[in-house]
A and B are shown apart, each in its own frame.
Chain A
């Protein structure tokens, strides 16, 4: 899949509450074959300040359209979130590796924290398209119910992706962290195997640590916690990381992340953004 640099047109900006905006772009043909977990560098036609494009995971792509979830945190994301339909946006992508393809018979636990939903949303959609909907489950956590992006979750309910929610304030789903959901979910597997299966997931009883994977995206503290849970349950996890980034191409070397072993650094744009949990962070 070759990356390209092109100008797309914003056709819809939808405010999602809690500082989120959903951007729908046309003219994104070069992204149509992108893998879940790949990203783009996005920038509006706003002169020289802010100067750097911003990195966004691809939420959806296909045909001529692509969508991105923008959380307003600073000047660049604010300008993108407030951009009006018709605005030209430059796109560099698809970039990065994306999540590895699942092996035959493998099932995926998709773990998302807050604005980490997009790559997992795309992973779930693509799994559904491939007839694997029953083989993926989405666990999503946020601080409060209104940060759970319900309209995006609704898109996954139609293909019958199993979804579990957690909020820190208990306003929706289970009170607690998404990693609590993950811990419980993985803990259930052994029990399920003995009991002959749990409702809602017939395959769960047959699941073992080698036939399931965890794909996760969210804040660094959450991803570290995901890795801990994955280790306890002997399950391979793939983490989609974020970093301050200038080029997206492996040229500026700005997006360094410490490698697991040694004193070396990996780069989120060129080596990731998806890393095997055992390859990053000491």
Chain B
């Protein structure tokens, strides 16, 4: 058995392993201190940050579904200023790579947020959530239309020296042109997939289970969708790393997404199952590779290796 390197180089950064914790499921990192050894993660992606604080949606905001869950948190967050003042100091020395997820309601919001997140020690990169309604375009989401997505990403990338990863929504007819537009506009990487839009009904009470009716579906239920979309985007050969997300609960799940084309992955809903899920998944991945792919020298060789 050769010595297996778990290290991944992507977007000009080195990650100790390919497993990051996904935005929205890992708070600002500190919530998990003492429960998950952050230094054993490849990295973490923060809760989405916006220019101003947001209160979020009326409850109920989460509900369980078959092999997954729906959430409609409504992007509640402390806002850029409090993030930098109160959340960033912990992240600076947390021992892992930090990507800060951010979003806005207008392109200007995105630009100002990206500017505000730049130039701070402790922020290794940005992840732009473009699954948000563009209030200047009648509320259509930025990420569902290639031209709009590309224009936004171009402005964001022009506003920061940090690598910008763009998180793509699966709720589109064809994800490839959107992915391509983002890469042509300067995206350093693509995260996919964000949650699938869904709904749950309490038939006994005769009402929707979520306060805002619709929510985002996550968890093992969506892994097949993630695999298919990661594969499709990888096949387009856009030349940037893919951060695969969708229902990862084990090291073997990571290997599946990497084989489909992901360079890095993000563990999301599984963090609720156990707070050390990311750490555990990373350790499992190493054991999985040693057992089933003993010839590998580097875990990165899995990427795109699907027969």
Contact = CB atoms under 8 A, between A and B. Distances in A.
Contacts of B31: 247, 249-251
A43 interface: yes
B220 A51 contact: yes
Contacts, number: 110
Contacts of A258: 58-59
Which of A51, A52, A245, A249: most chain B CB closer than 10 A?
A51
Interface stretch (B62-70, B90-98, B127-135): B62-70
B292 interface: no
Contact of A246 (B35, B57, B71): B71
Nearest to A43: B273
Interface in B264-285: 269-276
A255 B63 CA distance: 10
B304 interface: no
A51 B32 contact: no
Nearest to B253: A48
Interface in B41-84: 47, 55-64, 66-69, 71, 73, 76
B26 interface: yes
Interface in A232-257: 243-247, 249-257
Interface in B9-38: 24-27, 31-32, 34-35
Tell me whether chain B's interface is mostly helix, strand or loop, or mixed: loop
Interface residues of B, number: 37
Contacts of A249: 27, 31-32, 35, 275
Interface of A: 2-5, 43, 48-53, 74-76, 90, 92, 243-247, 249-258, 263-265
Given A74-B64, A255-B62, A256-B58, 17 more contacts: A3-B34, A43-B274, A48-B273, A49-B220, A51-B64, A51-B220, A52-B64, A244-B61, A244-B62, A245-B62, A246-B69, A246-B71, A247-B25, A251-B271, A253-B73, A254-B62, A258-B58
Interface of B: 24-27, 31-32, 34-35, 47, 55-64, 66-69, 71, 73, 76, 219-220, 249, 269-276
